[in-house]
Amino acid sequence: MEKLSVETRFSDIEYNIEKIKERIGTAAVKSGRSENDVRLMAVSKTVEPIFINHAIEHGIDLIGENKVQEFLSKKPHLRLDNCEAHLIGHLQTNKVRQIITEVSMIQSVDSVKLANEISKRSESAGIVTECLVEVNIGGEESKSGVDEGYLTELVHEISEMKALKIKGLMTIPPICEDETRLNKYFSKMHRIFIDIMDKKLDNVDMTILSMGMSSDYEAAVMNGSTLVRVGTALFGHRIY
Residues in contact with ligand PLP by CB under 6 A are 43, 45, 66, 88-89, 172, 213-214, 229-233
Alpha-carbon distances of 160 from 78, 157, 208, rounded to whole Å: 35, 6, 20
> 203: phi > 0 → left, psi -120 to 50 → alpha, else beta; which?
left
Three-state secondary-structure class, residue 227? strand
- Residue closer to ligand PLP by CB (options 44, 122) is 44
Q: How far is the CB of 12 from ligand PLP (least distance, A)?
A: 14
Report the distance separating Cα 114 and Cα 96, nearest Å.
8
Q: How far is the CB of 143 from ligand PLP (least distance, A)?
A: 10
Q: How far is the CB of 226 from ligand PLP (least distance, A)?
A: 15
Name 33's Cβ contacts closer than 8 Å, sequence gap at least 6: none
Q: How far is the CB of 149 from ligand PLP (least distance, A)?
A: 22
- Residue closer to ligand PLP by CB (options 15, 156) is 15
Position of minimal CB gap to ligand PLP: 231
Report the distance separating Cα 106 and Cα 109, nearest Å.
7
Residues 212, 183: contact at Cβ < 8 Å? no
Query: What does R_g of the chain's alpha carbons equal in angstroms?
Result: 17
- Residue closer to ligand PLP by CB (options 152, 214) is 214
| Phi, psi for residue 198 in degrees, rounded to 5 | -65, -20
- Residue closer to ligand PLP by CB (options 190, 229) is 229
- Residue closer to ligand PLP by CB (options 91, 172) is 172
Q: How far is the CB of 134 from ligand PLP (least distance, A)?
A: 8
- Residue closer to ligand PLP by CB (options 206, 233) is 233
Report the distance separating Cα 211 and Cα 138, nearest Å.
13
Q: How far is the CB of 216 from ligand PLP (least distance, A)?
A: 9
Alpha-carbon distances of 35 from 5, 96, 218, 219, 240, rounded to whole Å: 32, 34, 12, 14, 33
Q: How far is the CB of 66 from ligand PLP (least distance, A)?
A: 5
- Residue closer to ligand PLP by CB (options 119, 225) is 225
